Amino acid sequence: MDDLDDNLLYEILKRLPAKTVARFMIINKRFYSLISDPFFIVNHADYQSGKIASGFFHTSLNTGSIDHYSFDLSSPTQTISLDLPEDHQTYRLCILATCNGLILLMSEPFCSNSIYLCNPTTKTNRCIPAPGSDNHMFGIGLAVNPMAFQLHNHYKVVGLYRLPNCLTWQFKIFTPDTGCWRYSKETISYNEKSYLYGGAVYFRGALHWLTNKGDILAFDVDKEQSWMIKIPRTITQLVSRRPWFSVTWFGVVEDQLNLIAVNHKGIVNWVLCDYENKKWEMKRRFKRIWGKDNTVWILPLPIFYDGDRLVLKVARPFSNGYPFINLHDLQIHNLRTGGVSGGKTLEHCKLIPDIGTLIRV
């Protein structure tokens, strides 16, 4: 590659996955200078946007690390050290949020005065002060806009709080340009018995939280405006298990918000086809694709979906009830099915897709 001019090398590198490009940084000063250039980082992120994930991360039994499962089932599980400060290397890490390849982490037990924003691809991290508040934080979301990287304001962390009257939600925001937290003037009223399920989903400049009441709470991180998106009751009624949201996956597929709901007959995929008018439609329906060796009362938990692949976390009696990951290829009638057993490490942990990025923190 030494014979290639910079323009041709640039075009080659931006087409390669972030993990591959990151390894090239140590070849020589030329590669390091090109790959670390903010203009290249933004263009690489733009070119790679929409690419499918290569696997997923989850909490590790090893301190100061997270584990990685590859969608290539022949690859072994990897434990990735995140090079955190020494005082955080002695604790297990809890994944709080993720967005566009970056991960927000806190060490266990939750007595730390700081949280960490990490890039597992480049092994870089940044310490963020804990939000701190008299009110209990009910949710946290990470919004990452790679296109704003050159402006040094490419991510925001949003904490969701409930005011003492228990009927009003309030938002607290951290931005890298100020390096501190502040309360937004925006508040939104909601049912006192509601709570959030799962992580926040970043879409169209807003964070979205799924609630147990069958609604989605949305917050635009730049305009600091919030609103509710109703989920049709026909979706929740399809799920025989209660609570319905515990067997529901929520995320973005093909530039639309998607719900994957599981019941004993199979799986249903709903999409928010008209975001502005909040209209939903059923896009796909799958027959039961998990084994009959599951106990009757345990439904698989959908943990990842990209339109082609569906990942389920299931319990198997012969594995002492420990979770087992099933990967299903949905393109040609479930052409490829495989799984990995995670033992206790998968029992209660959050699993997030591995979407590599070169964005610095």
Task: List pLDDT tens digits, range 313-337.
Answer: 776 554 444 455 666 666 544 434 4
Residue with tokens 């390669």: 16
Q: Is 60 exceeded by the pLDDT of residue 308?
A: yes
Q: Could you tell me if 128 and 157 are in contact, meaning their C-beta atoms sit under 8 angstroms apart?
A: yes
Residue 280 lies in a domain: yes
Residue 64 lies in a domain: no
Structural domain including 319 reads 232-360
Residue with tokens 């609570």: 243
Residue 324 lies in a domain: yes
Residue 341: φ, ψ to 5°? -95, 130
Residue 32 lies in a domain: no
Residue 101 lies in a domain: no
Q: Could you tell me if 282 and 270 are in contact, meaning their C-beta atoms sit under 8 angstroms apart?
A: yes
Token pair in block for residue 14: 């931006």
Please tell me whether the overall predicted TM-score, pTM, comes out greater than 0.75 for this model: yes
Q: Is 80 exceeded by the pLDDT of residue 233?
A: no
CA distances from 185 to 3, 119, 226, 310 (A): 56, 31, 11, 39
Residue 328 lies in a domain: yes
Residue 238 lies in a domain: yes
The residue type found at 116 is Y
pLDDT: is 46 or 164 the higher one? 46
**What pLDDT, in 10s, does the model give residues 335-353?**
344 455 444 444 445 677 8
* Residue 237 bridge partners (DSSP): none
Token pair in block for residue 109: 């037990």
Token pair in block for residue 50: 């929409």
**Bridging pattern class, strands 168-175 and 78-81:** unpaired
For the chain, the domain total comes to: 1
Residue 265 lies in a domain: yes
How far apart are alpha carbons 97 and 141 in whole angstroms?
A: 6
